[in-house]
Each structure stands twice: as structure tokens, then as C-alpha cells.
Amino acid sequence: MTMDIIEGDSMDNELLPMWAIDEIWEQWKQSNELCGSTNFPLSVSTENCANANLTKVFDAEFKCLYEVPSHLIVHMPSARLNITRLVACRNYKSYEPSSCTMGSGCKFVHADVDYNTLETHPIHVNYIWRHESECTYERLPAGEVLEVLSADMTTVNLIPSEQVLNTRGACARHDIAEPLIRCKYFETNQTCFTGERCNFIHVVCVDPNAQGAFKRAPKVVAEPNASACTSPQHSNNIKGKKSVVGNNGSGFNKEEHSAGMRKAPEEGRHDGGSGWVPNVSSPSFEPSPVVQMALRQGLNGTCGLPQNAPQKPTSGPRSPSATTPPMGDTNTQEILAALRTAGVCGTGYASATTGRTVPQDQMNTLLSQLVSIMAQQAAAPRTITVAPSPQLDDPAAVGTLLFLPRGAAEAVAVQPVFDGSFLSTVVTLGAGQRRCTGTIQQPRPQPLGDVWQLYNSQIPGHDGTVPLNWPYAR
């Protein structure tokens, strides 16, 4: 008997060992936290450092960000108004002070400049809309359902395409192999300063009962103590809410995604550990192969890797709260060298990362390229055979547990499976998580002729039978 499977061990290769993937993932998380509450494009941040005479001003519709020369601004809103973001006045005309009737009491910025001559940085603000058709940002055409990972990489949801804004990541959904991921800044900080050029997904917040216009959506809270290597939760497990189930077994909850209502996070809080325990009694979640590939292995250093995964040699135990080393250290340079050998990144990363942390834009690009390589490697089919065994044909079993030694082409039948919840346990173990407490109930052994059949035998290559006169078997 032969079968085609996805080769999960393909990530354990010489160019991209698991410790390298783990290191890059940690650096990506660190870069997200270091950049604070905004994700201004690297060009904007660098230019501001070089020239302090520029003022960031948003257009009246909050669709783009301008950098206005400070000497051209003739009016700023009073500090007593406690305005945190400067917005261009839609009534003021250059060099015409009387064009705005509010005069010096205006809450917006007056500048003697043609905004069309300034460089435009598109942005997306997470507003609440009564219907997606009222959204002023460009959206994807209707007719598709996208499988999108949450920003903390713990849950997968099905999102109608008409509720997704046009971003670089969304428009390239058919051309790239990596999974689609929600934008952290768009959901947690309510504004993404890369807008249409963002590599992540911006989901429209829809609430038919919303009052007023241009009110920001509530901030989304990431799953506490969650990590990238945790299995996604099945959205159908939410009681009291109806879900539409897709072909892959995942659920799309209309109430959850239309309202987008979640509690705001504590200010300045960054959860580091991973104390999440999977619920193996829930229905098994089966995302697409690419999503399975991204979640099957531990990408987060706070979670343990499988024992057979190549580990980065360390001089001592690593504390979970230890600070992640900067991208300019020797270990990260080895990772970048390996990626350059694989033809993933150019030599520009070497000079850009010497002695400091990689900027957010470069880290996002590096992670995107890394996940693309992982997806291509995991998509390679592999044909294996299963050794003949009577345990494969047990009529009372729901399946058979197989054991495939690393590097082998033939799998061995270990034992038949009689409890459906055991399949969820296998999925949990495959994701690198510990099996939760609780014994799986299985039928008592029954005599078959002159032997007893042991259903809990876990000896590879053994047929699970012992002589009838064996006292322990009785």
C-alpha cells in the first residue's frame, strides 16, 4: 500500500535548521515590540531622523500621510485641544487666510503648500462601518473566502474577500505560498501606516448597529500566553454563536467578525510565556497544508521544539525571559549567510544588520521569504509504503496509528485507534504540544483464538498479541 504525504521533515535541512527558524521568529516578534505603537515606513522614520523640520500631517479622510515642511505651516491647532494627530484642513487654500472661516480657532492644520507635490504615504485606519460597501478604502472583489491567521498566529478564520482591504499581501494571495496573516497594527493600534503597501491583511470591521461615522474599531486583544506553534482553535467551539463551516473544517463566525468586539489590552503589556494548553476533546482542526506547515513546527522560542529537531548549541540553559540577542550578533549573521546561500536574501542584509536590530520593514520581508521557503519545502510530495499488518483491517477501529522512522520509506502499524478523541491527541502531539492529562478509554482486550489482542501495544513491528496463558494479559 502506498500513499502521498506532506514531508514535515523537509524543514530540517542544512540551510534552514530549526534553531535558525526559531531565531528569526523571535527577532520578528522583537522588532514588532521595539517599534512601539506605530509602524511608520522605514523611509519615513529615517528621513525624520535626518531632517527634523518635517511635520507629519494626515489628509482629511485619513487615507494618506504627508510630511510637510514645517516652515510652510501657518497654523497649528491649540495645545489646549490635546490633539494627538495633525490633520490637514479641507477648507483652507494655500496663501488664502480667509478661506477657512474658523481662522485661528481651527482644529486642523493650515499649510501654504500643494499637497499633491508632496510624497504620499497611504495609511489604513480601522473604522467601524455599518456595511462593508460604506468603507472608503478599496477592497478586494467579492466571491472568495480567505483563510487568515490572527496577528498572534494562534487562530485561523475564514474571511469573505469583500471584507478585506486592498493591501500588498492581500493582492498577492494567489502568487505566494505563505499563509495570510492579520496586521497587528491595523487591529491592535487601529492604524497601519503602510496602508496599501502592507504585507499583511486588513479586515474591515462591520457593525450594522454602529452609531456615527468614522469611529475606530475596538482594539483587538491577542490570545494571552499564545505562540506561533500552538494549534489554531476551532471557532465553532464558541457557545451561543452560529458559524458557517468551510470545507476544511474551519468556522467563520459572522457575529465575531462583523462586530470585532474584544476587550482592549493593558497598556504596555507584552505577554512572553506560553502557558496555553490545547483542548484535545474539541474537534480536530484541519487547515490548508500551508497553514499546517506554518503551525506544525515550533517557531517561537518560548515553546519546546521536538526532541529530534536540530538545536542550536548553547553554552547554558536559556531563560524564557532572557532578552533576544540583537540581529547584529554572530548567530543571526550565520542565519543570514545561510539564507544568502539559499538565494533568499542579498548581501544588503549583512551591512544593514551590523551592530543593531533589523528594521521592521526588512524583518517583515525576511520573515515572508522564510515562510515562503518553508511552504515550498513542505509542499514536496513524498511516497511511503505501509508494512502489511492485521491491525490495518480491524473492523471496529476508526483508524490505525502508524510509525514512520526518520529517513525510512516504510511505515509500521503500531495500534488500531478506537476512540475518536485520540485523533485530536495525535494532532496535538504533532504540533509539538504536550498531551493533556486524562486517559483515553479503549475496549478491554478480547481473546482471539489462542491469543489475547492488546489494543494498547506500542511496540513498533509487534502485532499486538501475546500467548493466552500469559498471566498479565488475563
Could you give the residue ranges of the DSSP H alpha helices within 35-181?
Answer: 42-50, 168-171
pLDDT at residue 414, as a whole number: 81
Residue 11 in contact with residue 392, Cβ under 8 Å?
Answer: no
| Nearest CA-CA partner of 18 in 232, 323, 296 | 296
pLDDT at residue 49, as a whole number: 45
HSE (side-chain half, CA atoms, 13 Å) at 421: 12
Residue 193 in contact with residue 123, Cβ under 8 Å?
Answer: yes
Contacts of the segment 14-17: beta carbons below 8 A, 24+ positions apart:
15/338, 15/339, 15/341, 15/342, 16/338, 16/339, 16/342, 16/370, 16/373, 16/374, 17/310, 17/312
- Mean pLDDT split into 10-residue runs, the chain, 474 residues: 43 49 53 50 49 82 87 90 85 91 90 89 89 90 90 83 92 81 87 87 91 81 45 36 37 41 34 34 37 36 36 42 43 64 58 52 69 70 83 80 81 79 66 46 48 46 47 38
pLDDT at residue 405, as a whole number: 81
Could you give the residue ranges of the DSSP H alpha helices within 283-404?
Answer: 289-296, 330-341, 348-352, 360-378
3-state secondary structure of 37: coil
Query: What residue type is assigned to position 310 of the chain?
Result: P
**Element of type H or E holding 415:** strand 410-417
pLDDT at residue 120, as a whole number: 82
pLDDT at residue 40, as a whole number: 58
pLDDT at residue 344, as a whole number: 58
Strands 410-417 and 447-448: unpaired
Burial label, 474 (beta-carbon count in 10 A; 0-12, 13-18, 19+): exposed
Query: What residue type is assigned to position 54 of the chain?
Result: L
Write the CA distances from 384 to 306, 409, 446, integer angstroms: 22, 5, 32
Write the CA distances from 21 to 237, 297, 300, integer angstroms: 31, 10, 9
Question: Rg of the chain's alpha carbons, rounded to an integer?
Answer: 27
Non-local CB neighbours of 406 within 8 Å, separated by 6+ positions: 9, 308
pLDDT at residue 203, as a whole number: 93
pLDDT at residue 266, as a whole number: 34
